[in-house]
Amino acid sequence: MKYIVILLLAAFVSNAQIRKEQLDLMPWPQNINLTSGTFMLTKQFKVNITGNSDARLFIGTTNFLRRLDSRTGLFLGQEYVTKINEFPEAELLINCGRKGKVGLNEDESYQLSIVSGKITLNATNDLGALHGLETLLQLMQNNGTSFYFPAVEITDSPRFTWRGLMIDAARHFQPVDVIKRNLNAMASMKMNVFHWHLVDDQGWRIEIKKHPKLTQLASDGDYYTQEEIKNIVKYADERGIMVVPEIDIPGHASALLSVYPEIGSKQSVGMPYTVGRRSGIYDSALDPTNPKTYQLLGEIFDEVCPLFTSKYFHIGGDENNGKEWNANPAIEEFKKGNKITSNHDLQTYFNMKLIPMLKKHDKRLMGWEEIMTKDMSKDAIIHAWRGGNEGVTPGGALITAAKNGYNTILSNGYYIDLMLSVDGHYLNDPLPKNIALSPEEKARILGGEAAMWSELVTPLNIDSRIWPRTAAIAERLWSNDTITDLNSMHRRLKVISSRLEEVGVMHIRNKEVILRNITNHQDTRALNDFTNICEPLKNYKRNGGGKKYFMYSPLTLFADACTADASDAYDFNKAVNQYLENKSPENQIVVTSFFRKWIAMNNDLIALSANAPLIQPVLLMSNNLSMISKQLLLAIEEKQNIDKKALNELLEQLTIRNSADVELAVYASLKRLL
Amino acid sequence: MKYIVILLLAAFVSNAQIRKEQLDLMPWPQNINLTSGTFMLTKQFKVNITGNSDARLFIGTTNFLRRLDSRTGLFLGQEYVTKINEFPEAELLINCGRKGKVGLNEDESYQLSIVSGKITLNATNDLGALHGLETLLQLMQNNGTSFYFPAVEITDSPRFTWRGLMIDAARHFQPVDVIKRNLNAMASMKMNVFHWHLVDDQGWRIEIKKHPKLTQLASDGDYYTQEEIKNIVKYADERGIMVVPEIDIPGHASALLSVYPEIGSKQSVGMPYTVGRRSGIYDSALDPTNPKTYQLLGEIFDEVCPLFTSKYFHIGGDENNGKEWNANPAIEEFKKGNKITSNHDLQTYFNMKLIPMLKKHDKRLMGWEEIMTKDMSKDAIIHAWRGGNEGVTPGGALITAAKNGYNTILSNGYYIDLMLSVDGHYLNDPLPKNIALSPEEKARILGGEAAMWSELVTPLNIDSRIWPRTAAIAERLWSNDTITDLNSMHRRLKVISSRLEEVGVMHIRNKEVILRNITNHQDTRALNDFTNICEPLKNYKRNGGGKKYFMYSPLTLFADACTADASDAYDFNKAVNQYLENKSPENQIVVTSFFRKWIAMNNDLIALSANAPLIQPVLLMSNNLSMISKQLLLAIEEKQNIDKKALNELLEQLTIRNSADVELAVYASLKRLL
Average pLDDT value for residue range A43-71: 95
Polymer length of chain A: 674
Task: Tell which of A497, A509, A633 to mutate to test the B interface (max B CBs under 10 Å).
Answer: A509
In a domain, B475, yes or no: no
Inter-residue contact B450 to B164 (CB < 8 Å): yes
Q: Is the pLDDT of residue B574 over 60?
A: yes
Least confident span in A37-46, A265-274, A366-375, B171-180: A265-274
Same domain, A27 and A102: yes
Beta carbons within 10 angstroms of residue B84's beta carbon: 16
In this complex, is the C-beta atom of A420 within 8 Å of any C-beta atom belonging to chain B?
no
Point out the residue among A79, A552, A613 whose CB comes nearest to the CB of B145: A613
Contacts of A64 in chain B (CB under 8 A): none
**pLDDT score, position B339:** 95
**What's the pLDDT at A15?**
54
pLDDT band at B5 (very low <50, low <70, confident <90, very high): very low
Within a domain: residue A151? yes
Contact at CB, B523 and A6, closer than 8 angstroms? yes
| pLDDT tens column, A179-217 | 999 999 999 999 999 999 999 999 999 999 999 999 999
Mean pLDDT for the stretch of residues B496-507: 97
Tell me how many degrees the CA angle B94-B97-B103 measures, rounded to the nearest 5.
100
- Partner-chain residue, chosen from B6, B177, B612, that has the shortest CB–CB distance to A522: B6
- Scanning every residue of chain B, which has its alpha carbon at the shortest distance from the alpha carbon of A7? B522
Nearest to B58 by CA among B39, B29, B88, B78: B78
Cα distance between residue B612 and residue A146, in whole Å: 8
A22 touching chain B per CB within 8 A: no
Note whether A80 contacts B: Cβ–Cβ < 8 A: yes
Specify the pLDDT at position B659: 82
Please write the tens of the pLDDT for every residue from A404-447.
999 999 999 999 999 999 999 999 999 999 999 999 999 999 99
Residue A433: is it exposed, middle or buried by C-beta count within 10 angstroms (0-12/13-18/19+)?
Answer: exposed
For residue B136, the distance in angstroms to the closest alpha carbon of chain A comes to 17
Over residues B561-584, the mean pLDDT reads: 97
Using 50, 70 and 90 to split pLDDT, how confident is the model at A656?
Answer: confident
Facing A523 at nearest CB: one of B6, B509, B553: B6
Better-scored residue on pLDDT, B294 or B655 = B294
> Cβ(B562)–Cβ(B536) under 8 Å?
yes
Residues A493, A578: one domain?
A: no
Q: Which residues of B touch A72 (CB under 8 A)?
A: 613-614
Boundary residue ending a domain (B156, B172, B205): B156
**ipTM of predicted complex:** 0.95
* Chain B residues with CB-CB distance to A517 below 8 A: 70-71, 501-502
Residue B14, pLDDT score:
47
Query: What is the pLDDT averaged over residues A569-590?
Result: 97
In a domain, B504, yes or no: no
Contacts of residue B632, Cβ cutoff 8 Å, sequence gap at least 6: B592, B595, B642, B647, B670, B673
- Closest-CA residue of A relative to B5 is A523
Looking at the structure, tell me whether residues A505 and A519 fall in a common domain.
Answer: no
A613 vs B142, B556, B611: nearest CB: B142
Residue type at position A235: Y
- Please give, rounded to a whole number of angstroms, the shortest distance from the CA of A600 to a CA of chain B: 6
| A298 shares its domain with A406 | yes
Q: Which residue of B has its CA nearest to A148?
A: B613
Question: CB contact, 8 Å: A30 with chain B?
Answer: no
- On whether residue A9 sits in a domain, the answer given is no
* pLDDT single digits (tens) A331-367: 999 999 999 999 999 999 999 999 999 999 999 999 9
Q: Is the residue at A2 inside a domain?
A: no
3-state secondary structure of A179: helix
Residue B4 has pLDDT above 80, yes or no: no
User: Looking at the predicted structure, is the pLDDT value of residue B91 above 80?
Assistant: yes
The model's confidence at residue A241, banded by pLDDT at 50, 70 and 90, is very high
Is A244 in contact with A194 (CB distance < 8 Å)?
Answer: yes
DSSP 8-state secondary structure symbol assigned to residue B28: P
Q: Taking CB atoms and an 8 Å cutoff, what residues of chain A touch B525?
A: 2, 4
pLDDT of residue A1: 34
Q: Are residues A71 and A186 in the same domain?
A: no
Looking at residue A267, its pLDDT comes to 76
pLDDT (0 to 100) of residue B541: 87
Query: How close, in Å, is residue B439 to chain A by CA atoms?
Result: 45
What digits encode the pLDDT tens for the residues B390-421? 899 999 999 999 999 999 999 999 999 999 99
Q: By CA distance, what is B602's nearest residue in A?
A: A2
Per CB-CB distance under 8 Å, the chain B contacts of A277 are 79
What are A351's strand-pairing partners? none
A contacts of B144 (beta carbons < 8 Å): 609-613, 616
For residue B9, pLDDT over 60 is answered with no
CATH code for the domain of A241: 3.20.20.80
Nearest chain A alpha carbon to B604:
A4
Q: Which of B5, B70, B607 sits opposite A517 (nearest CB)?
A: B70
Question: Contacts of residue A512 in chain B, CB cutoff 8 Å?
Answer: 508-509, 512
Q: Report CB contact under 8 Å: A521, B10.
A: yes
Partner residue opposite B521 with nearest CB, options A498, A596, A610: A498
Environment class of B482 (CB within 10 Å of its CB; exposed 0-12, middle 13-18, buried 19+): exposed
B59-87 average pLDDT score: 95
Is B70 an interface residue toward A (CB < 8 Å)?
yes
Q: How confident is the model over B121-168, as pLDDT tens digits?
A: 999 999 999 999 999 999 999 999 999 999 999 999 999 999 999 999
Read off the pLDDT of each residue in B561-573 and give the average, rounded to a whole number.
97
Q: What is the mean pLDDT of chain B?
A: 94
**Considering its fold, how many domains does chain A have in total?**
3
Higher pLDDT, B389 or A409: A409
From B156, B178, B205, the end of a domain falls on: B156
How far apart (Å, rounded) are the C-alpha atoms in residues A122 and A154?
10
Specify if A14 maps to a domain.
no
DSSP A220-267: TT--B-HHHHHHHHHHHHHTT-EEEEEE--SSS-HHHHHH-GGGB--S
Contact A10 B498 (CB under 8 A): no
What is the pLDDT, as a whole number, of residue B389? 86
To the nearest whole angstrom, how far is the Cα of B70 from the nearest Cα of chain A?
5
Residues of B in contact with A596 (CB under 8 A): 1
Q: Which residues of A are less than 8 Å from B3 in CB distance?
A: 2
Chain B partners of A8 at a C-beta cutoff of 8 Å?
522, 611
Whether A526 and A454 map to the same domain: the answer is no
For residue B220, list chain A residues with Cβ-Cβ distance below 8 A.
80
| Per-residue pLDDT, B603 | 98
pLDDT at site A497: 98
Residue B123's domain spans which residues? 20-156
Q: What's B53's domain CATH number?
A: 3.30.379.10
State the nearest Cα–Cα gap between B461 and chain A, in angstroms.
Answer: 13
Strand B118-125 and strand B92-98: the pairing is: parallel
Cα A138 to Cα A36, A148, B532, distances in angstroms: 18, 11, 32
Between chains, do A549 and B75 touch, taking CB under 8 Å as contact?
yes
Question: Do A294 and A198 have their domain in common?
Answer: yes
Residue B48 lies in a domain: yes
State residue A68's pLDDT score: 97
* Chain A residues 276-295 with a CB less than 8 Å from chain B: 277
Is the CB of residue A501 less than 8 Å away from at least one CB of chain B? yes
What is the model's pLDDT at position B8?
39
First to last CA, chain B: 36
User: Same structural domain for residues A488 and A566?
Assistant: no
B residues 124-143 closer than 8 Å to A (CB): 142-143
Closest partner residue to B516 among A501, A520, A522, by Cβ?
A501
Based on the fold, state whether residues A493 and A538 are members of the same structural domain: no
Mutate to test the interface with A, among B521, B568, B661 (most CBs of A within 10 A): B521
On the question of pLDDT at B568 being above 50, the answer is yes
Residue B26 has phi, psi (to 5 degrees) of -160, 125
- Residue A152 shares a structural domain with residue A167: no
**Same-domain pairing of A543 and A492:** no
- The minimal CB distance from A513 to the residues B509, B548, B608 is found for B509
pLDDT digits (tens, 9 = 90+) for A542-562: 887 667 788 888 999 999 999
Of B153, B319, B501, B502, the catalytic one is B319
Rounded to the nearest integer, the mean pLDDT of chain A is 94
pLDDT of residue A159: 98
Distance from CA of A354 to the nearest CA of B (A): 32
Determine the residue of chain B that is closest to A227 in CA distance: B227
Residues of A labelled as active-site residues: 319
- pLDDT above 60: residue A76: yes
> Is B501 within 8 Å of A509 when comparing Cβ atoms?
no
Of the three residues B156, B186, B203, the one that is the final residue of a domain is B156
B548 and A596: CB-CB below 8 Å?
Answer: no
For residue range A267-303, list pLDDT tens digits in order. 776 668 999 999 988 999 999 999 999 999 999 999 9
Does residue A463 lie in a domain region?
Answer: yes
- Whether B423 shows a pLDDT value over 60: the answer reads yes
What does residue B120 show for φ and ψ, rounded to 5 degrees? Answer: -120, 130
Task: State how far Cα B647 lies from the chain centre.
Answer: 39
d(CA B58, CA B55): 5
CB contact under 8 A, A6 and B520: no
Give the one of A59, A145, A502 whose C-beta lies nearest to B613's C-beta: A145
- Does residue B319 sit at the A interface (CB-CB below 8 Å)? no
Mark which residues 592-651 of B lie under 8 Å from A by CB: 596-597, 599-601, 604, 607-614, 616
Same domain, A280 and A391: yes
